[in-house]
Amino acid sequence: MEDRLLLDLQKLETRYSVGRADVHAVRDVSLKVHRGETLGLVGESGCGKSTLGYSILRILPENGRIVNGHCLMEGSDLLSLSEDELVNYRWSKLSMIFQGAMNALNPVLRVDDILYEILRAHKDVSRAEAMERIKELFDLVGLARDHMTSYAHELSGGMRQRVVIAMSLLCNPSLIIADEPTTAFDVVVQDQILAALEGIQDKLGIGMMLITHDIAVIAETCDRVAVMYAGQIVEQSSTEAIFHAPAHPYTAAMLNSFPSVRGPARCLVSLRGAPPDLTNPPLGCAFAPRCPLAVEQCREANPPLEDLTTDAQHLARCYFAGSDAVTEAWSAEESQTGGAGG
């Protein structure tokens, strides 16, 4: 397994300065992504999952900065690269599919020109060679070749997203970070895009990090899952383990708050309150104020990310991790709120 290791994040911390305060957007995050693996990074808006993606590529907005940690990509630390080295590194090793493909394509340039420009920045290719490569990628993501000479505004949202996916593959990266690639699309288009991503994963066997808020997407596409809450990883394991035996109450709540079109009808769990203010992160467990299991200890000290197995296959940041209390926490809560169901 270790020789397949692609990305190794170690204790990454990212902050934004807002006014005089610092928002601790990513706190002490360690993650690994392997070749041929899709890692799902799931969490709700504001939990820091996109910031984590931006941190890895080092394209944070001006007020953001990485204060600590290492980001080893095939052994070399991205955070210690100079800006020039980084420019070459981006896209050739590591690329990103951005949220909101609507605006990711320059409106005044033709699609093939945008892609050619990027390819040329990394490789010494002729235009003809580049066009061959672009044709290849268009086939791969299921776009008609006629669209190569289109402008962004002439394409539908789904097509634009495919162009963006093709763009991310231009230089054969070993890792792709996809930030909410299907959000804002209708279910049919979403499904087409997921199919394209899965196809790529099957054919190319690269590493993929899928950032999303939708656990259904995670369930279908990811091998492993990391759950983020308030800037931290609260649970990390294989997809099956997370879905069948969540070890953190927050994960359990997430799983029980999603309706499904299949399976028995059930009541959904909702969380009260809001995530903590990250300008001043709490001392204890960040989830404690919303957690039905919380005890004094939870409020006083943040639980460590504990290994529930022997080989770091299932990690959870909770004092109750692994006990039945976690899975039962929300059934008690449901009866309390009266749980109106469908």
Partner 1 sequence: MSVGRLPRYVVRRVLQFVPVILAVLIFNFVLIKIAPGDPALTMAGEWATKEQVELVRQKWGLDQPLMTQLLRYLGNLLGGDLGFSYHYHMPVLDVIMLRLPKTLLLVLTSMIMGIVLGTLIGVYSASRYGTRLDLVASVLSLAFYSIPVFWLGLLLIIVFGLNLKLFPYTGYISFGVKGAFSVVVDVLWHMVMPSVTLMACLYIPVFLRISRASVVEVMKEDYITTARAAGLGERAVFMRHALRNAIVPVVQMVGIWMSQALTGVVLTETVFSWPGMGTLMYTAIIMRDYPLLMGIFLITAVWVVLTFLAVDVATAYLDPRVTYE
Partner 2 sequence: MTTLSRTMVPEPLMSIRAAEKSYRLRMGFMASLMGKRVPEIRAVEDVDLDIGKGEVVALAGESGSGKTTLGKVLSLLEPPTSGSIWFDGLQLETLSGREKRRMRRRIQMIFQDPYESLDPRFTIFQTLHEPLIVHGIKDGGVTHRDMTRDVLDRVELRPPEDFLDRYPHELSGGQRQRVAVARAIILHPDFIVADEPVSMMDASVRAGVMNMMLRLKNQLSLTYLFITHDLAVARYMADRIAIMYLGELVEVGNTDTVINQPAHPYTQILLSAVPIPDPTYGRKRVAVPGEIPSPTDKPSGCRFHPRCPYTEDICRHRRPGIVPLVDGHLARCHFALGVQGGNKTKKDRSAG
Partner 3 sequence: MAAQVDQVQSQFVESIAPGGMGRTRSFWRVFAEKKTALFGLVVMLLAIAVALAAPLLAPQGPTHLYDALLSPPSSQHPFGTDPLGRDVMSGIVWGTRISLLFAVGVAGLSLLIGVLLGAIPGYYGGRVDDLFSRFFEVFLMIPRFFLIILVVAVFGQNIIFTAIVVGMTSWVTNARLTRAQVLTIKERTFVKASMATGASHARVLFRHILPNGLYPVIANSSLEMAGAIIIEAALSFLGLGDSNHLSWGQLLFSAQLHIHSWWLALFPGLAITLLVFAFNLIGDGISYAFNPRLRGRG
Residues at the interface with partner 2 (CB under 8 A): 44-45, 156, 158, 186-192, 194-195, 198-199, 202, 213-220, 239-240, 243, 253-255, 257-263, 265, 267-272, 274, 337-342
Q: What CA–CA distance (Å, rounded) separates 267 from 245?
A: 19
Select the span of 66-74, 105-113, 129-137, 139-147 touching partner 1 (CB under 8 A).
Answer: 105-113
Q: In what order do the strands lie in the sheet with 94-97?
A: 94-97, 175-179, 207-212, 38-42, 224-229, 232-238, 315-316, 306-307
Residue 255 binding: pick among partner 3, partner 2, partner 1, none (C-beta 5-8 Å cut-off by kind): partner 2
Place of tokens 């005089």: 20
* 65 CB neighbour count, 10 Å cutoff: 15
Q: Which does 64 bind (CB under 5 to 8 A by kind): partner 3, partner 2, partner 1, none?
A: partner 3
Select from partner 2, partner 3, partner 1, none the partner in contact with residue 219, using the beta carbon and a kind-dependent cut-off of 5 to 8 Å.
partner 2
Q: Residue 25 or residue 298: which is nearer to partner 3 going by CB?
A: 25
Phi first, then psi, for residue 284 (nearest 5°) are -85, -160
First to last CA, the chain: 45
Residue span 10-49 as binding mask against partner 1, x where in contact by CB under 8 A, dash where not: ----------------------------------------
Q: Tabulate helix, strand, coil % of the chain (nearest 5).
A: 40, 25, 35
Using CB under 8 A, which of the segments 93-101, 139-147, 230-238, 280-288 binds partner 1?
93-101
Tell me how far, at minimum, the Cβ of 112 lies from partner 1, in Å: 13
Check residue 98 for interaction with partner 1 (CB under 8 A): yes
Task: Report the nearest approach of partner 2 to the CB of residue 147 (Å).
Answer: 13
Furthest CA-CA distance within the chain: 67
Task: Give DSSP secondary structure letters for 171-222.
Answer: T--SEEEEESTTTTS-HHHHHHHHHHHHHHHHHH--EEEEEES-HHHHHHH-
User: CB under 5 to 8 A by kind: which of partner 3, partner 1, partner 2, none does 91 bind?
Assistant: partner 1
Q: Which residues bind partner 1 (CB under 8 A)?
A: 57, 59, 87-92, 95-96, 98, 100, 103-109, 117-118, 121-122, 151, 153, 164, 167, 170-171
